[in-house]
Structure 1
Amino acid sequence: MAKKILIPSNFTKHAWNTLVYALNLYKGVPCTFYILNAYKVPSRISLGRNNNADLDTAKAESEAGLQKIMQGLNFRKENEKHTFETISRNKELADAIQETVDTHKIDLILMVSRGENVSINAAFENEISEVIQKVEDCPFLILPEQMQSLPETNREIVFPTNYKFPFKNKEVAPLIEMAISLKASIRILYIDSDGKPLSKDQEQNKEALKTYFTEVDFSFHKLTQTTVTTGIHLFIESRESNFLALYKRRQGFFSKLFSQRFKEDIDFNPKVPVLILKELE
């Protein structure tokens, strides 16, 4: 069954680079790529004027931009395992993404973060953090603007957890699928900041992960005497890991990354692509 990947595009070179990166990332995997352009024409309530002309112009520009992308893909003579669909919507970006996720049962959303690092802290009010906050029931893969090519072997996805909460199998399924698709190992990282042994519940939650990850290569790791954010950075840099997977729980440490209230508390801007898993009902 083909994997369904959604790539929002605003027709910049960064959006095109994201698409090309995705094609290379999943070159061995059957995929349908949905390329979405969302434009928003504000409705005006004014005497004797309607919005049709502005709407028609914006729609034509959106469709022309998507057609240009398709022409570029045809010129590249892409992978036979890949198919493409274009979607143009007069909606806010988050609303257009959610509609596409629901309609087409999207497996993964790919977006690019401006700059050298992946900026996902909602306190800094960027478009990506807003979309991550609003869109439900679908994981994101956020790429840094300066994307590094993947090595052919020894690919790693770092997955930090404190084992305090149980995971559902369906919540970590996108991580497992990504590891299988990319032939990557999963490195489960526990940051022991307080020097206390794991509780009984933590041990049980750790054991549950073993049953979920039987199809992939995985290992458990522990760092002490460091903060969570510093520990993650050090671990990724020391091992030259390729991806970071974060679980966006409604409560808990990483939920702070996506909250407007914690601007001063968290300095977290990874340089590797970040897979964001969602808490599911």
Structure 2
Amino acid sequence: MKNILIPTDFSENSLNAIRYAVNLYKDAVCNFYILHVEAEIDNSESNLNNHSTVINVKKTSINRFLKDIVNQAKKEFTKNKKHHFFTIANNDSLINAIREQVLLKSIDLIVMGTKGVSGCTERTVGTNAGNVITKVKCNTLIVPENAKYVVPKKIAFPTDFSINYNIDTLQPITQLINEYKSEIELLHISKKDLVLNESQQRNIEYLEDYFAETEHSFHFLTHKKMENAIEEFVISKQVGLITMLAKNLNYFQHILFHPLAKEISYYKNIPFLVLH
């Protein structure tokens, strides 16, 4: 049984995240928790109406929208009778609301839609998604607005081999690989020729051993710009999913929060699985 939390603001973007999640786990037993977070209504919003009446009307509308989303998901996205949907409305901050549900519902995965735009600057993920993956310690799948579900036969795993890996952290990748018979492409990108230190070499050996029973390969690329290298790699290998470890700070910050050139498009189409 997987417990999956999907925040929604009722946009097409967040609906696409639900669609993607349901398809990715189409054969699994899942509880999908659809969460909407609405800030507390200020007294000034009530105008001529009674404040409590305004709150009740808004709550009724939110509950109706949540119910409509669940009905649409059941009708259009899944035929699996073992997919169960639950709705949650919360008036706390987004981060607090998500943290609370992660604990209460034993959430395995958060799935968030993103437009990949922060202010006027193109970035891999938007503000809300960025806050969740940095402030909530839970595996998070980021689904770009233009992402369409395809079986993830190729999974890219950018890493600098500088951190210690463990079975618990890597397990979500293994589950997807086993489910879809995917191949994992471990990718290192540097601006100059790589010279591995002893720690990096040990970590590579660990990954070699861990993925020994699955299709995998290591790629060492030299490129001035990491985002361009990833773009070329994603296209050439027909990558369907990018995964990375949150504690791999060097790659994590650069790939997810670095301003991107207009010609870079992978972050608009390819989902990111961030592991904690």
| TM-score class, shorter | 0.7 to 0.9
CA distance in 2, matches of 1:233, 1:264: 11
CA distance in 2, matches of 1:75, 1:63: 18
1:65 aligns with 2:65: yes
Q: Which amino acid aligns with 1:174?
A: P
Secondary structure of the 2:220 match is strand
Secondary structure of the 2:201 match is helix
CA apart distance, 1:9 = 1.6
CA distance in 2, matches of 1:234, 1:20: 27
Aligned to 2:107: 106
1:132 aligns with 2:128: no
Q: Which amino acid aligns with 1:69?
A: I
Match among 159, 162, 177 for residue 161 of structure 1: 159
Cα distance change of structure 1 residues 245 and 12 upon mapping to structure 2, 3 Å threshold: same
CA distance in 2, matches of 1:127, 1:44: 26
CA distance in 2, matches of 1:246, 1:65: 34
TM (norm. structure 2) is 0.83
CA apart distance, 1:23 = 1.7
Cα distance change of structure 1 residues 6 and 120 upon mapping to structure 2, 3 Å threshold: farther
Cα distance change of structure 1 residues 3 and 181 upon mapping to structure 2, 3 Å threshold: farther
Taking only aligned residues, the RMSD between alpha carbons, in angstroms, comes to: 3.1
Cα distance change of structure 1 residues 12 and 178 upon mapping to structure 2, 3 Å threshold: same
CA apart distance, 1:257 = 5.2
1:40 aligns with 2:11: no
CA distance in 2, matches of 1:13, 1:222: 38
Aligned to 1:6: 5
Aligned to 1:53: 53
Match among 168, 171, 175 for residue 170 of structure 1: 168
Q: Residue 29 of structure 1 contacts residue 181 of structure 1 at CA under 8 Å; is this kept in 2?
A: no
CA apart distance, 1:13 = 2.7
Aligned to 1:93: 94
Aligned to 1:217: 215
CA apart distance, 1:59 = 1.9
CA distance in 2, matches of 1:253, 1:73: 35
Q: Residue 14 of structure 2 contacts residue 114 of structure 2 at CA under 8 Å; is this kept in 1?
A: no
CA distance in 2, matches of 1:215, 1:134: 34
Secondary structure of the 2:31 match is strand
Aligned to 1:30: 29
Range with greater deviation from structure 2 (168-177 or 89-98):
168-177
Q: Could you tell me which runs of 5 or more consecutive residues in structure 2 were left unpaired when the two chains were aligned.
A: none
CA apart distance, 1:50 = 8.5
Aligned to 1:183: 181
The equivalences for 1:138-153 within 5 A come to 138-151=138-151
CA distance in 2, matches of 1:120, 1:103: 32
Q: Residue 39 of structure 1 contacts residue 58 of structure 1 at CA under 8 Å; is this kept in 2?
A: no
Q: How many percent of aligned residue pairs carry the same amino acid?
A: 30
TM (norm. structure 1) is 0.81
Secondary structure of the 1:234 match is helix
CA distance in 2, matches of 1:127, 1:170: 26
